Amino acid sequence: MLVHNVEANADRTISAGSDGTFGIGNLAPGRYQLTASKEGFANSTVIAVELAPGQALELPLTLGLPTQRGGFVRRLLAAYRDDWKGTAASGPEPPRRGPPSPLNSPPFPNSDWSYGGAPDIGAPDTNVPPLMQALYTGPNGKAWADSRVKVYGWLEGSLNLSTSGQSNRPAAYDIYANRVELDQAVLYIERLPDTVQTDTVDWGFHLSGLFGTSYRFTLNKGYFSQQLLDQNRQYGFDPVLEYFDLYIPQVADGMNIRVGRFISVPGIEAQLAPNNYVYTHSLLYSIDPFTDTGIIGTIKLNDRWLVQLALTVGHDVAPWTGDARPSGTACISYTFNHGNDNLYPCANGLNNGKYAYNNLQMFDTTWYHKFNATWHLATEAWYMYERDVPNVAGPVPLEKGANGAFCSPGQARCFAPEWAVVNYVEKQLSSTNFVSMRTDFLDDLKGQRTGFKTSYTEGTLMWGHWVGSTILFRPELRFDHSFQARAYDLGTRNSQFQLAMDVIFKF
**What is the tens place of the pLDDT at every residue in 175-213?**
999 999 999 999 999 999 999 999 999 999 999 999 999
Sequence-distant (6+) residues with CB within 8 A of 78 are: 68, 70, 134
How far does the chain reach from its first CA to its final CA, in angstroms? 32
Q: Other C-beta atoms within 10 Å of 250: how many?
A: 10
15-38 burial: b if 16+ Cβ within 10 Å, else e: ebeeeeebebeebeeeebebbbee
pLDDT at 58: 52
457 in helix, strand or coil? strand
- Please, are residues 309 and 295 in contact by the beta-carbon 8 Å criterion? no
Check whether 423 has a pLDDT greater than 90: yes
pLDDT band at 40 (very low <50, low <70, confident <90, very high): very low
pLDDT band at 38 (very low <50, low <70, confident <90, very high): very low
Q: Other C-beta atoms within 10 Å of 142: how many?
A: 16
Sequence-distant (6+) residues with CB within 8 A of 226 are: none
C-alpha to C-alpha distance for 72 and 375, rounded to whole angstroms:
41
Q: Which among 128, 169, 116, 482 has a CA at the least distance from the CA of 310? A: 116
Q: What average pLDDT does this structure show over 152-166?
A: 97
CA within 13 Å, CB half, 455? 8
Q: What average pLDDT does this structure show over 239-247?
A: 97
pLDDT at 44: 43
Check whether 6 has a pLDDT greater than 60: no
pLDDT tens-digit series, residues 80-137:
999 999 887 776 778 999 899 999 999 999 999 999 999 999 999 999 999 999 999 9
Burial (CB < 10 A; 0-12, 13-18, 19+), residue 433, is middle
- Please, are residues 440 and 458 in contact by the beta-carbon 8 Å criterion? yes
Q: What average pLDDT does this structure show over 370-386?
A: 98
Check whether 17 has a pLDDT greater than 60: no
Torsion sign, CA atoms 423, 426, 432, 433 = negative
Average pLDDT, the chain: 89
pLDDT band at 282 (very low <50, low <70, confident <90, very high): very high
> Which neighbouring-strand residues pair with 212?
236
Secondary structure (H, E, C), 393-412: CCCCCCCCCCCCECCCCCCC
**pLDDT-wise least confident of 24-38, 60-74, 127-141, 162-176:** 24-38
Radius of gyration of the chain (CA): 26
Greater model confidence, 354 or 17: 354
Q: What average pLDDT does this structure show over 358-386?
A: 98
CA within 13 Å, CB half, 377? 12
Angle, CA 384 vertex, CA 176 and CA 298 arms, to 5°: 100
pLDDT band at 57 (very low <50, low <70, confident <90, very high): low
pLDDT at 55: 58
pLDDT tens-digit series, residues 307-327:
999 999 999 999 999 999 999
DSSP, residue by residue, 56-75: -EEEE----PPP--S-HHHH
Containing 142, the helix (H) or strand (E) segment is helix 141-147
pLDDT band at 401 (very low <50, low <70, confident <90, very high): confident
> Which neighbouring-strand residues pair with 150?
190
DSSP, residue by residue, 236-295: EEE---EEEEEEETTSTT-EEEEEEEEE-S-SS--SSGGG-SSSSB-HHHHTS--EEEEE
